[in-house]
Structure formats: structure tokens, C-alpha cells
Amino acid sequence: MKYLIDKLTSNGSLSKEEWCMLIDRRTSDTAEHLFENARKKREQYYGKDVYIRGLMEFTNYCRNDCLYCGIRKSNANVTRYRLTKEQILACCEAGYSLGFRTFVLQGGEDGYFTDDRMTEIISEIRRKFTDCAITLSMGERSRESYQRFFDAGANRYLLRHETYNYEHYSRLHPENLSAKNRQQCLWDLKEIGYQVGTGFMVGSPYQTTENLAEDMLFLQKLNPQMVGIGPFIPHHDTPFCDFHAGTLELTLFMLGLIRLLIPKVLLPATTALGTIAPNGRELGILAGANVVMPNLSPIDVRKNYTLYDNKICMGTEAAECIEDLTKRMESIGYKIVTVRGDSLNESLGTGHLSKRDRVNIN
């Protein structure tokens, strides 16, 4: 399978069959070869720098009932909370002093945060922190809402596609949600001018190798600035409580593949990865990742933002998390930097797909 990794490394395109082969027939040897190439690519563009993003979980109210997610609407065991504008700004203040230059506002799909309320919050962060990037991660909205948030000063948007395959998507989500709409949101965000992040869970229930191949082809087509992936981890209060978690090994392999597929992408070693293995995030960086996202949310609300079981850093102050991460990164020869860290993968819009990007997924 090394020849497929070499093909990817020299910017060659893989077919769906080739992606499947590469994933299915992987061995620890091919993985090592992959990670070496992925690290080389990453270092070519981003050196040994690791970017940090301050994550603020500003609401755990959610109108959706995704079968995997701990804060799904029908989980009555969650204590619901939302942060006030003042609390959000205080998190930004604290984060700024710690060196964060990107704030990620992540939350469930919460009707309380109307376009007016959101634009007010975004404008104020923009006014106070002119040198920072504002990233939103609050699910599906109308194109008009996305436009208003962008005009108010948001720069980036994270919306995982979760899985490209329509049928697989429908097994993970309630009937009112569709892969089609999710993907349309991503194209809209891109057209508006956001730096866009998407991604998927590794090892989600019913996921096949073919599904992962389709995810790779979708990433190639969308050509996003960021890709967030992490293992699926069951949450005890969801319909998927009895499914197995995704593995560290496959998640790392997928990280390496994504680095080679989109060399300039921003790729976080996610909290979920750090949750399934004590050194998961370090291994993620060594597989090609270049971002970590410490939690800036107030400690007293963190326990209520549990998308999956055993999430790490539940009671650790942001400053302490950074210290810990700094040591972890140093131990593997990388260093945390406090810059905005924009993606080097340019926003090309949809009309400028290179030949390599004009792929047929099905």
C-alpha cells in the first residue's frame, strides 16, 4: 500500500477503490510510512508550530436529537445552560491574556441565540479583539444568518459533515436532518467567504470503509481550510450507548491521510482523541495534526457540555491546560504558538476547482 501513500504524497488523486484499499489493508508499517510523509508535509508549511484555539461552549441547549450526542434534545439528564454575552466576553478577555488569538464559539442549535443576539455578541468581540479570529460552531442556519454573522466580524465556521453518505447520515440523525442540507450549509459558508472547517467521527456506528472513502472524496471536493476528526465515543444517555468507540489507530491513520490529501489544512488533535488515549493528542500531532483546542469555558458549566463519556479537562483551568499542553508538545519536539494561525489553504470559492478537485464521489 506504500505506493498509494506515495501517490498521495506527490499530489496524486485516489479513486474510491484506492481509498478503500489503502484503509482496509493498512498495517503498522504503512502507517509509519504515512506518518513520516504527513509530518514532512506539515513541517514544510507549518514547521513545528502548534496553533491553539480557545474553545467556549456557550450553550448546551440543542433543538436536535442526533443519536450519538450527549446534549441531544431528548436527554433529560443534562442540566442546560447558556452563557451571557458578558460571560462570553469575560472568557475572551481571559483567553486573550493567555495568548489565544482565535476564539471558537461552539454550542448546540439553540433558538435563544437569534441572529440579532448573535450579531451583537460577534460585533462586540470583533470591536474589542481586532487582532483575533472569531470562529463559530453552532450548526445549521440559513444562508442569511451565516451572512449576517460574517458581516458582523466572524471569520471561520466549523460544521462537521459527520458522514458524506446520505444513508449512513440518516442512521446517525433524526429524520428532520439530512446530509444534503448539511453539505449545502458548507458550500454556502464557503461562498460567503468563511474559512471553513468540516470533518467526521471515526468509527461511528454503521460506518464502513466505503463511507470513509466517500468522506475523503468529499474533503477533496470541498477543499476546506480546517478538518476536525475524532473517534466516536459512546455517551451513556444516548441510543448509541452500547456501541464501541472508534479506535486510536484508525483515527491516527485518517489524520495522516487528510494531511497528505490537503497539505495546508489546519488539522486539530481533538479532545476526543485525547480522551481515548492519554497521549492521544501527541500521537495526533505526530500523525500530521497541527492544532489543539483547549477549553476556555467557565469550569462550572463544563460538566454539562458532555457530548461523550469521560471527556478530559473537565475541571482544569485554561491556564493549567495550556501549561500541560505546552509540556506535552515540547516532549515530542513541537511548540505551541500564540498567533492567529490562519490556514495557508486558500479560499478558492467553488468556481475554481482544480482538476484534482473535480472528483466524482459516487
- Which residues contact ligand 5AD (rule: CB under 6 A)? 68-69, 160, 162, 201, 230, 232-233, 235, 272, 307-308
Give residue number: closest CB to ligand 5AD: 308
Angle (nearest 5°) at CA 323 between 278 and 101: 110
Q: Minimum distance from CB of 353 to ligand 5AD (Å)?
A: 25
Asked if 311 contacts 191 with a C-beta cutoff of 8 angstroms, the reply is no
Q: Minimum distance from CB of 236 to ligand 5AD (Å)?
A: 10
Asked if 266 contacts 290 with a C-beta cutoff of 8 angstroms, the reply is yes
Q: Minimum distance from CB of 192 to ligand 5AD (Å)?
A: 20
Residue 145 to residue 150: CA distance in whole angstroms: 9
Our CA dihedral for 7, 329, 340, 289, rounded to 10 degrees, sits at 20
Question: b/e for 200-239, b at 16 or more Cβ within 10 A?
Answer: bbbbbbebeebbbbbbbbbbbbbbbbbbbbbbbbbbebbe
Our CA dihedral for 284, 160, 233, 324, rounded to 10 degrees, sits at 40
Q: Minimum distance from CB of 70 to ligand 5AD (Å)?
A: 6
Q: One-letter amino acid identity for 268?
A: P
Instruction: Select 5 or 245, whichever has its Cβ closest to ligand 5AD.
Output: 245
Instruction: Select 8 or 227, whichever has its Cβ closest to ligand 5AD.
Output: 227
Instruction: Select 14 or 289, whichever has its Cβ closest to ligand 5AD.
Output: 289
H-state helical runs in 153-208: 166-172, 179-192
Q: Minimum distance from CB of 309 to ligand 5AD (Å)?
A: 8
> What residues contact residue 183 under an 8 Å CB cut-off, 6+ apart?
161, 164, 218
> What residues contact residue 307 under an 8 Å CB cut-off, 6+ apart?
69, 70, 71, 235
3-state class percentages of the chain: helix first, strand second, coil last, to nearest 5: 45, 15, 45
Q: Minimum distance from CB of 169 to ligand 5AD (Å)?
A: 12
Q: Minimum distance from CB of 205 to ligand 5AD (Å)?
A: 10
Q: Largest Cα–Cα distance in the chain? A: 54
Quickly count: other Cβ atoms within 10 Å of residue 25's Cβ: 10
Instruction: Select 55 or 285, whichever has its Cβ closest to ligand 5AD.
Output: 55
Instruction: Select 262 or 273, whichever has its Cβ closest to ligand 5AD.
Output: 273
Instruction: Select 230 or 274, whichever has its Cβ closest to ligand 5AD.
Output: 230
Instruction: Select 162 or 188, whichever has its Cβ closest to ligand 5AD.
Output: 162
Instruction: Select 272 or 313, whichever has its Cβ closest to ligand 5AD.
Output: 272
DSSP 8-state symbol, 52: E
Q: Minimum distance from CB of 243 to ligand 5AD (Å)?
A: 9
